[in-house]
Amino acid sequence: MKYVWQDGIFEKVDALCEIFPPVIKDRWKDRIIYNSEKIAAYEESKTVTEEIFWRSVYEIFPGGYEPLILRIKDPEGLKQDMISSRKQEDIEPGTEPVHITRWSNQPEILSDIEPGKKILAVCSSARKGGNTDVVIDELLRVGRDNGALVERMYLSDHAIKPCTGCRACRKGDVKTLCALNDDMTSVIYDKLYAMDGLIVGFPIYTARENGIIANFMDRWDCLANPYLSRKMPEKKKAVVVCSWMWPNPTAYDNVVEQMIILLRLHRVETTDVLTVTGTRGKKHGRGVVKNHPEILDTVYKAGIQFMSNL
């Protein structure tokens, strides 16, 4: 079926696709056209309207692309948003437009919290006292308040070599789990095996998980070794904590979801996610969540739910 495109929309398709290098530009253009016409077909419309077109764009573009979308859709709005961002430098503590989103859809039915559970928090932000760190600290406070054995580990303080792809972990049993000799093999793997609950915290700087956590998770690959005699125990639970500056609270949900899937592949089930967004401004960005009691209260409640499910 041939669809009529409202005047001026094809020009916007071309303008949007100008952000892409030539090698992928046509691929994105095809996606936009296909998805727009699919929505039109679903709604039994013979015309791809402006509304259908932008809905299609937001469906297929990752949330982190929003500034690039606004450059075409609403350039004046984007300009005002950038001005607002600069003005945040002078906002009083406690009034910053920071936001927390909790993903759990579990009913708030709490079982008794069993004391003595081991909670390991892994923070991949080298910015100690930053927003990721503050949220982790509040989750660990829940653990301490309820008799858990808690430990926070800053990955930037550890010697963690990158995976070399040697594939020793696919050729036979490796007693040290990984053939590399560093803090993963001497310290960290044992902590992962011993934990009951894991808190994974990472910031997003460049539209993906930061490099430290990516390197760390690469080193989990050996845990999927089919010949491994020492399997990762099942039924371990995790909370994922993630922060980014852009105010869109769903901008990098796809990155968080990838982390959840990666943990699940290694027998760790994520039961909740806490994302902190809108942490812009050099003066207030670092650790700004500590100025917001309502955010810390949300984190504490999430921690109670997490602990009760271990």
Q: Where are the domains of the chain?
A: 4-88, 99-308
Distances in Å between the Cα of 292 and the Cα atoms of 5, 79, 295, 304 are 47, 28, 5, 19
- Other Cβ atoms less than 10 A from the Cβ of 60: the count is 13
Tell the residue number behind the tokens 């990752």, with chain if given: 62
Structure confidence at residue 284 (pLDDT): 52
- Other Cβ atoms less than 10 A from the Cβ of 45: the count is 15
CA–CA separation, 274 and 239 (whole Å): 8
CA–CA separation, 146 and 200 (whole Å): 20
At residue 201, φ and ψ (nearest 5 deg) are -120, 130
Q: Quick one: DSSP state of residue 232?
A: P
CA-wise closest residue to 125 among 245, 305, 265: 245
Tell the residue number behind the tokens 């094809």, with chain if given: 10
Structure confidence at residue 278 (pLDDT): 85
pLDDT along the chain (310 residues), means of 10: 91 93 96 96 95 95 88 88 70 82 78 87 93 96 94 97 95 96 97 97 93 97 94 93 90 95 96 90 72 94 92
Give the HSE-up count for residue 48: Cα atoms under 13 Å, Cβ half-sphere. Answer: 24
- Other Cβ atoms less than 10 A from the Cβ of 158: the count is 16
CATH class of 99-308: alpha beta
Secondary structure class of 140 (helix, strand, coil): helix
Long-range pairs of 87-90 with CB within 8 A, sequence gap ≥ 24: 88/280, 88/281, 88/284, 89/281, 89/282, 89/283, 89/284, 90/283
CA–CA separation, 191 and 285 (whole Å): 31
Structure confidence at residue 132 (pLDDT): 95
> In the beta sheet, which residues pair with residue 123?
154, 201
CA–CA separation, 5 and 1 (whole Å): 13
